[in-house]
Chain A
Amino acid sequence: MTLRAATLSGSATDRVSAALKRAGEVEPKIHAFTQVFEERALACTSQPQSEGAGSRALAGIPIAIKDNLCLSWGKTTCASNILRNYESPYTATAVQKLIDAGAVIIGKTNLDEFAMGSSTEHSCFGPTFNPWDISRVPGGSSGGSAAAVAAGIVPLALGSDTGGSVRQPASHCGIVGVKPTYGRISRYGLVAYASSLDQIGTLTRTVEDAALALSVICGHDPLDTTSSQEPMPDLLASLDTPVDSLRLAVPRQARSDANHPEVARVFEETIATYKKLGATIVDVELPLLDHGIAAYYIVAPAEASSNLARFDGIRYGHRAKLAPGEDLFDLYCKTRSEGFGPEVQRRIMLGTHVLSSGYYDAYYNTALKVRRKIKQDFDRVFADCHAVLMPASPSPAFKVGEKTSDPLAMYLEDVYTVTINLAGLPAMSIPAGFASVEGKQLPVGVQIVSPAFDEARMLRIAQQFERATDWHARKPLI
């Protein structure tokens, strides 16, 4: 059921009960959640609605949030042993806004530890599985949120997107995933991975639902000084405006031979659909698209090595037990080695290395220069075009375990998504077709990228495609 349909049908109790029942049915197969708040969610629906707090646009709607968003009940684990028992004393601004609008949080969803991964396999609770084929990953790092929406448990889940962590799982699970412009949504209460790239995003079944949810959670927050003061236009008002006056850019580099043939086919069919809708397709160059991965996997680990220094076993989280004679230094090292999984440890070390004196210029500073060039390339394209079309991921969902032993292969999953975060742009993945792989039908998404703060037009472009196709209406048989 979509968010829009849910607001029009049944009572809050019916909706939340149905979500919990559905979670009970499919959770053993997909493992989308780290925690389900059954009692609390049901209790929420029987309370009288408080008046005046926000628009109540989401009254009684069951939702899920990624477990790297702070919530003042339950645990905020980041799927890491270092925070396995951490109880946040406060709630993230974006989550509070959803609560104020009447949404009922039924649980927190699984992720790659600290959002570092593209498959939701790097979780201390074990992997999440793709509802379309449970032998495959749902993508990551917001894989639990994507799987929960795709499996029909909730119509809306929040994720976070540092290098594609909302868009790539949305693509692999056949749903709509939006990462707005950097700064559109407060990051207060989002556990930091790479602060100059992190942004909260939405996972929904339809474009309209995404617009509804974003209308609630976007906006300036005094608790996050990087949150933007840019006014937000009405995201729903322009959804129905046709795209026939628009110029859509297709980068030559996005038609790479490295794309899975089925992804390439779906991408070309999407371009053809937009042509049919009257949009003008413009071939463009994004010369540094292929260099985005290298720049991103320098910048993101560098920021992570600094952000994750706070997990030291002193003020909160796991603390290691010391043997006689061991000191504070041993406490830090033991706590962190026990608490962080291997991928997180490697990214912290990679970040420490690229920031260390002697390597700073060769790696970190070079990556920041490439970052500026990437931003300039997009600026150049947007001087002449309204949006860019790209695949969301070069391949459909891969098998569980297929890429865990080759981190570089896993990183290359993000080739079409990371540059967007480096440039701070809004982008979204929409269901655009299916890949036939080994007898299975796997969803494939296409990505729409807009100029900064132009989410309204991006959503309109997505909505017009959704209206012309029925990919978003297909559901996994699970």
Chain B
Amino acid sequence: MSHESLSPDYVRRIAKLSRLSLTDEQVAQYGARMSAVLGYMNRLRELNLEGVEPMANVGGTTNRFDEDVPGPTLSNDALMKIAPDTMPPFVKVPKVLGEGGGA
């Protein structure tokens, strides 16, 4: 699974999963740069990682429970002010149902 170069189609697929639309020029440029970086990462495969557990974070992994007491929260007005398009108390979005709505 070497990544000498990611194919343009694959780069477009990753862009779509990332919710980015790229020009053909960007596909070529990003593909080349990502391929170089991924090639460098292959050095991790040289290591003997037999029996090593993955570590996603350094903090404690136990859950901490809080009392179920409501605290202060941001007002609807404050949030409406920063939304790009609103019909208070709602945020407006393009069509969600139907074709293309499954985004």
Q: Which residues of A contact B (CB under 8 A)?
A: 86-87, 89-90, 182-183, 196, 222, 225-226, 228, 288, 291, 293-295, 297-298, 305, 309, 312-319, 322, 326-334, 336-337, 340, 342, 345-346, 348-350, 352-353, 356, 359, 362-363, 365-373, 375, 407-408, 411, 423-424, 452
Contacts and interface: CB of A to CB of B under 8 A. Distances in A.
Contacts of B47: 288, 291, 370, 373
B53 interface: yes
Contact of B19 (A322, A336, A363, A408): A336
A350 B43 CA distance: 17
Contacts of A297: 37, 41
Given A90-B74, A329-B103, A349 B18 contact: yes
Contacts of A346: 30, 33-34
Nearest to B55: A372
Given A89-B78, A353-B14, A196 B94 contact: no
A226 B11 CA distance: 35
Interface of B: 1, 11, 14-22, 26, 29-30, 33-34, 36-38, 40-41, 43-45, 47, 49, 52-59, 64, 66, 74, 78-79, 81-85, 91, 93-96, 99-103
A310 to B, nearest CB: 11
Given A332-B19, A411-B37, A424 B59 contact: yes
A407 B52 contact: no
Nearest to B10: A353
From DSSP, what is the main secondary structure of chain B's interface residues?
A: loop
A442 B65 CA distance: 50
A194 B99 CA distance: 34
12 contacts: A295-B44, A297-B41, A327-B100, A328-B93, A331-B93, A333-B19, A336-B18, A346-B33, A349-B11, A349-B18, A359-B1, A408-B36
B56 A353 contact: no
Nearest to A348: B18
Contacts of B19: 309, 312, 329, 332-333, 336
Given A291-B47, A319-B84, A226 B55 contact: no
Contacts of A328: 93-96, 100-101, 103
Contacts of B58: 182, 196, 375, 423-424, 452
A372 B49 CA distance: 10
Nearest to A305: B18
Nearest to B42: A294
Given A336-B20, A337-B21, A349 B34 contact: yes
Contacts of B41: 294, 297-298, 363
A305 B14 CA distance: 11
A196 B91 contact: no
A366 B85 CA distance: 43
Main secondary structure of the interface of A (DSSP, over half): helix
Contact of A371 (B33, B55, B83): B55
Contact of A89 (B40, B59, B79): B79
A373 B49 contact: yes
A352 B22 contact: no
A373 B14 contact: no
Contacts of A293: 40
A322 B94 contact: yes
Given A196-B56, A353-B34, A225 B64 contact: yes
Given A87-B82, A316-B83, A196 B20 contact: no
A291 B52 CA distance: 16
A319 B94 CA distance: 11
Contacts of A356: 14, 17
A407 to B, nearest CB: 6
Contacts of A226: 57, 59
A337 B16 CA distance: 11
A333 B94 contact: no
